[in-house]
Structure 1
């Protein structure tokens, strides 16, 4: 079955064009599934697997304390794997066809209010050679809502300041064009004029827009470390994640009347139901404001 798994991973990579992290997630889930089927169920081929074996594997995940979200992800991986096996004539049936997916609890994303965003973005210049870079990165994240992984892979050619937009390659290598606000444009221009040249290394020429202290592209870990420091200096008490500014971008747009479809396109969501969670965040915030300020709330 591990040979079939490798064929499936190759299919996800070449034909489906999925992101590396997504493929790794599929592979991790399916390796644990195959190990269970072979060791516990004593089955050696795809044709021997029945619905009951999948149910027992899922029960094992639940007994191990896995969340409904994790179990649902495993089911999606297993279902895709068996559909692939049936399509490729590796198996003559799909045992996952009637497996129900548990409803995962949707936790609302943490967002910053406008005052907190302003505190985060309006930090005074501390004289660091990274100040203009960090300022530009935060302004771009809040102005566009792109993911941190997309931010750190931006190149100089992806940013079009005179036209006021940037080009972004998202999940599944899908390209999208996102408007840039004037504040973000100015921050990028300052960084290009006065900051990036100081970080460039003659030994490591690169087209990446945002560079680390070695003159190479910045990592997710490097960005996350900087964000936590910046938030601490700004006095923000809320727990932050690398997606906090992305969540805040979407929520603030919808609160100010933006069209849901437009926000979906800017975020790069394939399904609008993913974007709709931000409407729930907006409603929750409205309720909080009502309770705080209405005299008869």
Structure 2
């Protein structure tokens, strides 16, 4: 079996069986291709079926000198999944990564913004320009609904159910969920939609896309990052802020104000509650206050 054939089969498996997005599949494949390149550079002629733990160990040792432990751990995890697939399909009897341990890495807590910092960022927006109303609506939606950047740029007008108080969000693996939307966020989306977007010349492929660029086409991930970076610099906030920071802040502020963790999980679209539980580690002071206030043995 050739590496290219095995990788293509694995891509189909990830798409059809696992329901992963194109971005996730691309990342998995890139890590497998790192191993293939290393084999070629070292004149090691082994197929996915014949490669052994010894070669995998040598590859991991080589990348350990170049990448951070977190990246190394991700590559090992990706390769383990690939070879598990080959075992599952009975191309191999064993997984060469079965006994290989990932490096120990600390749990990185996500950055968050305070409510004051979020207000400062939004107040920095120049509303005298047409894109100002759009940018305000974007930030209000990121923070008000806890969306991923990919979910934001793919949000459709047909996904807005304002009368019911929900928006329909298409998340990872094209899985859809309904997310509550506040009156405040609805107000700013309506202002942008009615006063700015309705007066644009819109490209045919973007007629249903909510947030548009000046040329009437959908925004890119990079553009959202650029908007937020520029506003952060203008506001003088000394933090590295990305679109995901608003998502983290959304979850953190809900938790701090007493929201149920399971409800936060559903709104964020996390498959596992374990992913959501990272937010319980962010503000230990708040959690101590909860114990002191509500526990009978306080």
Helix, strand or coil for the counterpart of 2:144? helix
Look up the match of 1:196. Answer: 197
Residues 32-47 of structure 1: pairs in structure 2 closer than 5 A: 32-40=34-42, 42-47=44-49
Residues 277-292 of structure 1: pairs in structure 2 closer than 5 A: 277-283=278-284
Give the counterpart of 2:52 among 36, 50, 53: 50
C-alpha contact 1:132 1:187 (8 A) present in aligned 2: yes
Helix, strand or coil for the counterpart of 2:15? helix
How far 1:157 sits from its partner (Å)? 0.7
C-alpha contact 1:254 1:282 (8 A) present in aligned 2: no
Look up the match of 1:295. Answer: none
Look up the match of 1:239. Answer: 240
C-alpha contact 1:12 1:18 (8 A) present in aligned 2: yes
2:133 and 2:151 map into 1 onto residues whose CA distance is: 19
Look up the match of 2:27. Answer: 25
How far 1:141 sits from its partner (Å)? 0.7
1:159 and 1:194 map into 2 onto residues whose CA distance is: 17
C-alpha contact 2:125 2:231 (8 A) present in aligned 1: no
Look up the match of 1:291. Answer: none
2:206 and 2:220 map into 1 onto residues whose CA distance is: 17
- Alpha-carbon distance change, 67 to 188 in structure 1, aligned in 2, over 3 angstroms: same
The question of 1:80 aligning with 2:81 is answered: yes
Aligned length: 286
Q: Which moved more, 1:108-117 or 1:210-219?
A: 108-117
- Alpha-carbon distance change, 109 to 221 in structure 1, aligned in 2, over 3 angstroms: same
How far 1:203 sits from its partner (Å)? 6.0
C-alpha contact 2:161 2:167 (8 A) present in aligned 1: yes
The question of 1:261 aligning with 2:262 is answered: yes
CA offsets, 1:133-160, max 9 Å, x none? 1111111111111111110000001111
How far 1:172 sits from its partner (Å)? 1.2
Helix, strand or coil for the counterpart of 1:46? coil
How far 1:204 sits from its partner (Å)? 5.6
Q: Which moved more, 1:160-169 or 1:45-54?
A: 45-54
Helix, strand or coil for the counterpart of 1:107? coil
2:118 and 2:70 map into 1 onto residues whose CA distance is: 30
The question of 1:214 aligning with 2:209 is answered: no
**Normalising by structure 1, what TM-score?**
0.89
CA offsets, 1:59-93, max 9 Å, x none? 111122x1111111111111111111122222232
Helix, strand or coil for the counterpart of 2:54? helix
Look up the match of 1:16. Answer: 18
C-alpha contact 2:125 2:136 (8 A) present in aligned 1: no
CA offsets, 1:2-44, max 9 Å, x none? 2211211122123222111111111110011123345537242
C-alpha contact 1:204 1:215 (8 A) present in aligned 2: no
1:205 and 1:182 map into 2 onto residues whose CA distance is: 26
- Alpha-carbon distance change, 203 to 100 in structure 1, aligned in 2, over 3 angstroms: closer
**Normalising by structure 2, what TM-score?**
0.89
1:124 and 1:100 map into 2 onto residues whose CA distance is: 48
Instruction: In structure 2, list runs of 5 or more residues that go unmatched.
Output: 289-298
CA offsets, 1:180-219, max 9 Å, x none? 0110011111112111113333666521000001100111
2:52 and 2:198 map into 1 onto residues whose CA distance is: 61
C-alpha contact 1:199 1:212 (8 A) present in aligned 2: no
C-alpha contact 2:125 2:132 (8 A) present in aligned 1: no
